[in-house]
Amino acid sequence: MTRRELRDHLIKMLYMRDFHENDEIDEQNMLYLTSFEGGLEEMDSKEVLERYTKIVDKLGNIDSLISRVAKGWKLSRIGKMDLNILRLSVFEIVYDEEVPDKVAVNEAVELAKEYGCNESSYGFVNGILSSLIKEKKENDK
């Protein structure tokens, strides 16, 4: 599975999470992973679930970061798909040292172009992530 395919699955699972009760999420994730013709390969399903779990474990911190850099935007005002694209990308920027910041932003912009809530989603996502990276660089000094 490519990184692009992995990201695609992750934002869809994060998006689904917004519409289900906590006690339904595991079952919904399994249904999602087996819904493809032939299902995902076992190794691919395992990789998606491991990554998903890492993101969900950090969701409180991720949402706090998004809230801080998205000045004037409450999380509840951000379209659900845009928010989940941001969540995945913030995870990659802050917690995944294997993914360069520029790659995380570029992938987020591409996902927003494909799945975003409206035509300006990619610009919004790019702006939030650019602000986060700028803040990160200033804090690293």
pLDDT in tens, 66-75: 999 998 899 9
What would be the CATH architecture of the domain defined by 3-140?
Orthogonal Bundle (1.10)
Supply the pTM of this predicted model: 0.93
Which tokens in the block code for residue 45? 């399903």
Chain segment 63-96, per-residue pLDDT in tens: 999 999 998 899 999 999 999 999 999 999 999 9
How far is it, in rounded angstroms, from Cα 18 to Cα 80? 8
Report how far residue 116's alpha carbon sits from residue 56's, in angstroms, rounded to the nearest whole number. Answer: 21
